[in-house]
Amino acid sequence: MRTAAGSGLGGVAGAAALAALLTVAGCGNPDTRPSGPESSSSSQVPSLTWEFEHIADFSGDLTDVALLAENDIWAVGTENDGDPAARLLHYDGARWTPEPLPGSLGTVEFPPALDEIGDGKIWLRTTPSLQGSTTTRWAQWDGTRWAAVPNPPPGAVTGLEADGPDDVWALTGERTAQHWNGSRWTTTSLPYKTADLAVVGPDDAWAVGRRSTGPGTELTGGTPYDQPATMHWDGTSWKAVDTPVTRFDDPIPPEPGAALTKVFALDSGEVRAYGVNGFNHGEGEEEPDEEYIRLRRDGSAWVAQEPAPGGCALRLPVAQDDAGLFLDGNWYLTDDGRCVKIQRHRLPLSTGARKPSNQSLWLSEVHRIPGTDSWLGAGHVQVNQSGDAFDAPVVVRLKRAG
């Protein structure tokens, strides 16, 4: 799951709510079942399986992947053997090989981020927010070589979305974003604290987060109650958009707060937003359930999404293909509303994973290979076994049957 610019929730209540969201519906819910797919319907259920494309020869994780073609794929990750080290891998159509990180990045402790920006180019950028620095250094792959990006945006970039090489948005603060038009970066201000953004098309982008002023943000006695916020870029400025207020029924639990943490644009242009209404657990005797916010843009208004069935109910979308949505935790929701668990294989014994080991597949990114119907995922298999637990960095390819 792509990292957002903060949780979108503040204080203890925010941390608890975000933790609940990630645990129940986020990247932190791996595939631990060796059995077949689960679905809300038994008729003509598609069979989906992640098959191993590459298993790296070190213990660690692949955190990002970018694909220009079937024979030009890059992945980055972390090696956990000894001191943690950033790793860069390349696939040329025949084999995966380790590659040195571009010298233009300087010293890199944490894995950089990979972004496909179109026109056959990839940006590789450091993550200064993790490294305690505000200096950003970027490299660009043009299909032949890595070179320094001469004008990366100022500030620490915590999220990036591109609609093309001349339409790129980067979050550089809770209320600041940078826009690249192909020749220069322009600083823009956002009305509210922002957690995520999505680009629909030219002069059409959405951001989500939370607001601390306006309707629903203050309880009796002055207790603050953050509310979900959405913002739209119309080519001129970011404008606040009316967003439904979310509140617990009385009695209100302690330190409540609601926010949106993810926005996703479908290929059709429909925009969906996801978040949580949470509170500070453990401060009261009877606690309500966390409330998960699911909105979609219907014309000029936000409305509630139709609930997804089965195990897809609280999952967040990570990618879309021609037949449905890939959801976190290795689930898939078809366009006709069927919920399918994507199967996966166990690691071969040659990796050191023993037969009785408990294995979980965690994917950080899922992408289509350009010009094909093939999909790759990157992440790791967590192997829990007595005396020798480890993480195996993997690239997986989706196999469809039926």
Does 45 have pLDDT greater than 80? Answer: no
- pLDDT per position as a tens digit, 251-301: 889 999 999 999 999 999 999 999 999 999 887 678 899 999 999 999 999
The yes-or-no verdict on residue 7 having pLDDT over 80 is no
What token pair was written down for 66? Answer: 């970018």
User: What rounded mean pLDDT belongs to the chain?
Assistant: 87
Residue in 264, 288, 266, 269 with CA at minimum distance from that of residue 277 = 288
Q: Is residue 380's pLDDT more than 60? A: yes
Mark residue 143 as left, alpha or beta (left: phi above 0; alpha: psi -120 to 50; beta: remaining). Answer: left
How far is residue 8's CA from residue 18's CA, in Å, rounded to a whole number?
8
* CB-CB contact of 76 with 114 (8 Å): yes
Listed in order, strand segments (DSSP E) in 7-46 are none
Residues facing residue 379 across a β-bridge: 363, 394
| DSSP, res 205 | E
Residue 109 pLDDT level (bands cut at 50, 70, 90): confident
Tell me the whole-structure pTM to 2 decimals.
Answer: 0.87
Interval 29-58 mean pLDDT = 66
pLDDT tier at 30, thresholds 50, 70, 90: very low
Which residues, listed in sequence order, are joined to residue 340 by a DSSP beta bridge? 332
Q: What is the DSSP string of 248-259?
A: PPSSPPSS-EEE
Residue 29 in this model has a pLDDT that exceeds 90: no
CA distance 86 to 60: 10
CA distance 229 to 245: 9
Closest by Cα among 311, 310, 353 to 329: 311
- Quote the pLDDT of residue 150: 85
pLDDT above 60: residue 16:
no
**pLDDT above 60 (res 1):** no
Query: Where do we find the tokens 């191993």?
Result: 52
Per-residue pLDDT tens digits for 303-353: 999 999 999 999 999 999 999 999 999 999 999 999 999 999 999 999 999
Give the up-direction half-sphere exposure of residue 385: CA atoms within 13 A in the CB hemisphere.
19
Helix (H, G, I), strand (E, B) or coil at 207: strand
Q: Angle at Cα 275 formed by Cα 329 and Cα 14, nearest 5°? A: 105
Give the burial string for 165-193 (b: 16+ CB within 10 Å, else e).
Answer: bebbbbbbbbbbbbbbeeeebeebebbbb
* 104-110 average pLDDT score: 83
